[in-house]
Amino acid sequence: MTVLEETTGEPIAEPSEPTDARGRVAELHEIRAQALAGPSEKATQAQHAKGKLTARERIELLLDPGSFQEVEQLRRHRATGFGLEAKKPFTDGVITGWGTVEGRTVFVYAHDFRIFGGALGEAHATKIHKIMDMAIAAGAPLVSLNDGAGARIQEGVSALAGYGGIFQRNTRASGVIPQISVMLGPCAGGAAYSPALTDFVFMVRETSQMFITGPDVVKAVTGEEITQNGLGGADVHAETSGVCHFAYDDEETCIAEVRYLLSLLPQNNRENPPRTEATDPADRRGDVLLDLVPADGNRPYDMTKVIEEIVDDGEYVEIHERWARNIICALARLDGQVVGIVANQPQALAGVLDIEASEKAARFVQMCDAFNIPIVTFLDVPGFLPGVDQEHGGIIRHGAKLLYAYCNATVPRISLILRKAYGGAYIVMDSQSIGADLTYAWPTNEIAVMGAEGAANVIFRRQIAEAEDPEAMRARMVKEYKSELMHPYYAAERGLVDDVIDPAETREVLIRSLAMLQSKHADLPSRKHGNPPQ
């Protein structure tokens, strides 16, 4: 007869002596039923009342029906003190295992907030370590469904050490298997670092928060008063800090989007992303593109419309959609092949490169390169953003991150200059000189060190100042500079773009180029690792 713990309904005594094999099996089913049920109906109701699903409900949404295989369901902690001896629930507050998403293996761990607030103790941590090791060994993605109160306070330093083991594995797995963190509750302290080490962070508005220290500590230390959501809610991290890549209104949509993202990623760094049969014709013309992009370089337009027109079925997913909007990072398909798209967004800050845009795109390029996703870059960039804030904020080292990421990327790289591409920003955004495999330009391109006005003011300063009519002289010099150096064929004549193409043929040219580059193989010099700017 199993002895049950009073408050949690969990067994605290060892199972009874078996009478026969069938008795043993029946007992197993009884224990499993207890583990599956979790602590109590009341705790489940409390979780639902907060607008949150339970860990098992979340796993069901993530994985293909019936595919979940749990690991260490019967694990219990061995900690003592603070009444822990009497409270030893199965799973120890985290559910771990694997299943499939659209038939492909995915490993998962999910905090059960109903048990110690999902807080991480020693046994809980070693379960996560094991599943991470299994994911790395199997070469399959790892998804964490986070809803935990950080280190389990009663277990002290053992809990903290458990986090260390997770961080080390996150780092080892980086660039080896895709790692996705889904934030579904309050995640403080140690619970926030692991997601930051992973490839993608998803959050849900109102119910999930991430911070190093909560509002109470903030108030005590700095005197600032702020709510949990104001400090580390989904919108804050999706728009201001850039900590999260995707934010949704509810858990169901959030988890459905995780499944979609997985469909665009390979299982590991030795595989390519899954290719689908495209129904959108490879040679579909995009006559509307010329209307979408105004020829006047100073007029804004929405680059997402250009992307939509070019990619398969107009379908793409933006990463960091609401952070650093002056640059777009998106995953899409071209003739069924997954590509990463980096594009300046002229309708936000005129599409300049600033600190945040550089950081956003650098991480994206790095991710694409790690997971064999070819990179297509659409340029329409007036340059880096000038200003004291930017310089003092370290635009040089942040901009260098993007440069480094591109220079280091060995996946197929194709760039297309739609309109203007000035100065350092032109070089950084995957120019031929930093290793793009193919570079194209529309006949509306203006590639130059800087805009004609600025250029004339620098190199013809004296002539303009000494002229009888300085304005007329300036206009003449601007015109001269434009016709000499800024005509669309200047770069093509020098082989710095591989071709000037009709915008309507963009999709076909990109698809043909990707097909040619499919077997590309490039090695970097042997080294322990680079020392990228931080």
Ligand X SMILES: CC(C)(COP(=O)(O)OP(=O)(O)OC[C@H]1O[C@@H](n2cnc3c(N)ncnc32)[C@H](O)[C@@H]1OP(=O)(O)O)[C@@H](O)C(=O)NCCC(=O)NCCSC(=O)CC(=O)O
Residue 213, CA distances (Å) to 216, 220, 294 in order: 8, 11, 48
186 is an interface residue for ligand X by CB under 6 A: yes
Closer by beta carbon to ligand X, 40 or else 269: 40
Containing 95, the helix (H) or strand (E) segment is: strand 94-101
3-state class of 70 per DSSP? Answer: strand
Could you tell me if 418 and 306 are in contact, meaning their C-beta atoms sit under 8 angstroms apart?
yes
242 sits near ligand X (criterion: CB under 6 A) = no
Chain mean position to CA 246: 8
Q: Does 116 bind ligand X (CB under 6 A)?
A: yes
Verify binding: residue 190, ligand X, rule CB under 6 A: yes
* Binding segment toward ligand X, per CB under 6 A, in 64-72, 187-195, 425-433, 515-523: 187-195
Is position 153 an interface residue for ligand X (rule: CB under 6 A)?
yes
Q: Which of these ranges, 102-110, 181-189, 339-347, 375-383, lies near ligand X under the rule CB under 6 A?
A: 181-189
Catalytic annotation on 190?
A: yes
Instruction: Give just the sign of the alpha carbon dihedral 336, 342, 344, 349.
Output: positive
- Smallest separation (angstroms) from ligand X to the CB of 9: 14
Whether residue 110 contacts residue 94, with contact meaning beta carbons closer than 8 Å, is answered with: yes
Catalytic hit among 121, 189, 340, 399: 189
Give the long-range contacts of residues 11-16, CB within 8 A, separation 24 or more: 11/90, 12/86, 12/88
**Is residue 351 a contact residue for ligand X (CB under 6 A)?**
no
For ligand X, the binding residues in 319-348 under the rule CB under 6 A are: none
Cα 195 to Cα 228, 415, 490, distances in angstroms: 18, 31, 46
Taking the least distance from each CB to ligand X, the nearer of 166 and 343 is 166
Catalytic-residue membership of 223: no
Helices 452-459 and 470-485 pack at an angle, to 10 degrees, of 120
Task: Rule CB under 6 A: say whether 162 interacts with ligand X.
Answer: no
Q: Give yes or no for residue 189 binding ligand X (CB under 6 A).
A: yes
Catalytic residue status for 189? yes
Q: Which stretch binds ligand X (CB under 6 A): 144-152, 274-282, 346-354, 510-518?
A: 144-152
Q: How far apart are CA 432 and CA 423, in angstroms?
A: 14
The SS3 of residue 501 is: coil
Q: Please name the helix (run of DSSP H) or strand (run of DSSP E) that holds residue 305, with its range, or none.
A: helix 303-310
Q: Does 150 bind ligand X (CB under 6 A)?
A: yes
Per-residue interface string for the shown chain with ligand X, residues 378-417, x marking contact by CB under 6 A: ----------------------------------------
Does 478 sit near ligand X (CB under 6 A)?
A: no
Q: For residue 425, indicate whether it is catalytic.
A: yes
Establish if 38 lies at the interface with ligand X (CB under 6 A).
Answer: no
Catalytic residue ranges = 189-190, 424-425
Binding site for ligand X (CB under 6 A): 116-117, 119, 149-154, 186, 188-191, 214
